[in-house]
Amino acid sequence: MIRLALTLIIACVLYVDSLSVARSLIVNGKGGGHVAIGYHLAKELNSKGHEVTILQNCDVDNNKVPFSSYSSLDAEIVTMPFDDDFEYPFKAQFDFVFDNNSKSPDGPVESALLAAKPAKQRYTFVGSAGIYEKPSSHPHNIPLDESMPTNGEKGAAQFEAALTSTDIPHIIFRCQYIYGPLCPKHYLDYYTYRINNNLPVPIPAPGTQLVSLTDVRDVAEQLGKVVDALPPSGSIFNTGTFNDLKHNYIDVANLIGKGLGKTPEVKLYDPDVKTDFPFRAKEFFVKSGKSVKELSFSGGSQTLEGFLGELVSSFESRSPNIDTSKDAGVLKAGV
């Protein structure tokens, strides 16, 4: 009898445990162009039934996107100073952690996170493709894949190495430029402002450099695949979609021209000249298919074309003042 009762109790405990909701922690950055990832990722994880907590540096402006939209999320937002006195605030381990904050292994938040081993299943570091070191022999039109050499002097590369040296089960994503709803950095204003004001758009020659521009919602979908696919610890993925990998710098001008109903006047300049052009002057784009193969990522459902309407209306409502005073000099120098 006692044995039966015990068996029932154990069965119940196991059953309840299997029903328990997965818990995810998003450690969000403070600002910069990519801080909207946390918002969209929280929604993505909610849609998978996860209980989501966002750990957020309190030193942000809550009236600005994406923070002004946090209240619409089904997430617990924990804000605190990310300073030298930082102490990791959670007791229980999360199933998944997504870290888009860490900049180097030695920062106070970074080292507290690594010491806390906060993820039972996977710790996903959302870092940057900016750490790739493209060899000068790299052929034109060939994207950088995950096996490319990286620059160990960059903080994000050092954080990757530190994470890899722990026994925390981990995944690394390396991202490039993003756009989309609630993104505070508007890379494309460079184009939109000039085209809208009938000014020439200086583009580094030859202008056919491909660029990885990814909608933040696709990035969120891609990151979220970690919880379904549970890729082997140590896996590295570039972000990016198939849709958005077909644009070169001139295409982007033509697309935005279409959105504004204007014909852009593209002018090429010498890519060695330093300017405010928002992307790298020389070709630098990543291969994104690995997560399609290994994580069953759809390859993305958004497109820059599809976002044009929103892009133009966001531009009009912000009406940014872009400094174009250097353009004439840049163009005069020739190609």
User: Which residues are within 8 A (CB) of 53 and not within 5 positions of it... i.e. 6 or more apart?
Assistant: 23, 24, 25, 26, 75, 76, 77, 78, 90, 94
| Beta bridge partners of residue 202, listed in sequence order | 267
Choose which of 24, 128, 241, 243 interacts with ligand NAG (CB under 6 A): 128
Q: Which member of 43, 103, 138, 287 binds ligand NAG (CB under 6 A)? A: 103
Q: 10 Å Cβ neighbour count for 202?
A: 22
Count, residues near ligand NAG per rule CB under 6 A: 14
Which of 24, 56, 57, 101 binds ligand NAG (CB under 6 A)? It is 101
> Quick check: 28 binds ligand NAG (CB under 6 A)?
no
Least distance to ligand NAG from the beta carbon of 188, Å? 15
Query: Which amino acid is it at 82?
Result: F
Nearer to ligand NAG by C-beta: 29 or 259?
A: 29
Cis peptide before 320 (omega within 30 of 0): no
Chain residue at closest Cβ approach to ligand NAG: 175
203 binds ligand NAG per the rule CB under 6 A: no
- Pairing label, strands 170-175, 213-215: unpaired
CB of 241 to ligand NAG, least distance (A): 13
Q: Which of residues 35-64 bind ligand NAG (CB under 6 A)?
A: 37
At which residue do the structure tokens 């006047």 appear? 265
- Structure-token match 């022999």, residue found: 137
Q: Other CB atoms closer than 10 Å to residue 138's CB: what's the count?
A: 14
Residue 156 as a binder of ligand NAG (CB under 6 A): the answer is: yes
Site residues (CB under 6 A) for ligand NAG, limited to 219-238:
219
Residues found near ligand NAG in the complex (CB under 6 A): 29, 34, 37, 100-103, 126-128, 156, 175, 178, 219
